[in-house]
Structure 1
């Protein structure tokens, strides 16, 4: 293998950093949810938010842009899932309107960043052959 091979580091992606911060916020928040939601809403919400960052990390570590795009798209779907679970948390009064609006706004910002990231990958794919 080439000794000068550049290894990409997903941790420098601003979208991953933003996602990691959201994951930490949600992790603290769900500690206040009722115990009976532990294996329902809490589990789903935590899995969804972790999926965003995990898919960004997995995709960014891939050698091929097309595979990276697939994982970025999965991350996008997980972000949508987070938004849906936040609505459920609000409707069940597990979070306040203010908490909901902050977290939903942060998730929406991540979605916009993912769109930009995917567009950048599309541009790279058009200039590359893999």
Structure 2
């Protein structure tokens, strides 16, 4: 079993959650139940699945939750593109967050690959 609070992938994902909440505060009001809600729920899903996976009895089961987390990371990246295309965020912020989500995706994939399947 892993202590999720000590995992770099969990900590980086939690930082992304804060970034997501920060940028969506400035989205138009009509996006409250649309893109704002979707982006934040998706961002929260990334570290949530990592932490839930650490409670599982085998690395095989943990890997499945890492897969869910990775899926949420790709979903959030798409939503980030939508936010940029709708001019809700600057190009500079877009590039910064795009780099961050790519890094998280790589970290999750690498961590999953490194698990021993016992």
SS at match of 1:32: coil
Aligned residue among 2, 8, 11 for 1:14: 8
Corresponding residue for residue 18 of structure 2: 24
Q: Which has the larger radius of gyration?
A: 1
Corresponding residue for residue 87 of structure 1: 81
SS at match of 1:89: helix
The answer to whether structure 1 residue 38 and structure 2 residue 38 are counterparts is: no
Deviation of the 1:49 alpha carbon:
0.7
In the alignment, structure 1 segments of 5+ residues that lack a partner are 1-6
Partners of 1:9 and 1:117 in 2: CA distance:
14
**Which structure 2 residues correspond to residues 88-127 of structure 1 after superposition, within 5 A?**
88-121=82-115, 124-125=116-117
Following TM superposition, where does structure 1 have runs of at least 4 consecutive aligned residues deviating by more than 6 angstroms?
Answer: none
The answer to whether structure 1 residue 71 and structure 2 residue 65 are counterparts is: yes
In the alignment, structure 2 segments of 5+ residues that lack a partner are none
Over the aligned positions, Cα root-mean-square deviation in angstroms equals: 0.9
Deviation of the 1:61 alpha carbon:
1.6
Deviation of the 1:8 alpha carbon:
3.1
Q: How many aligned positions are there?
A: 118
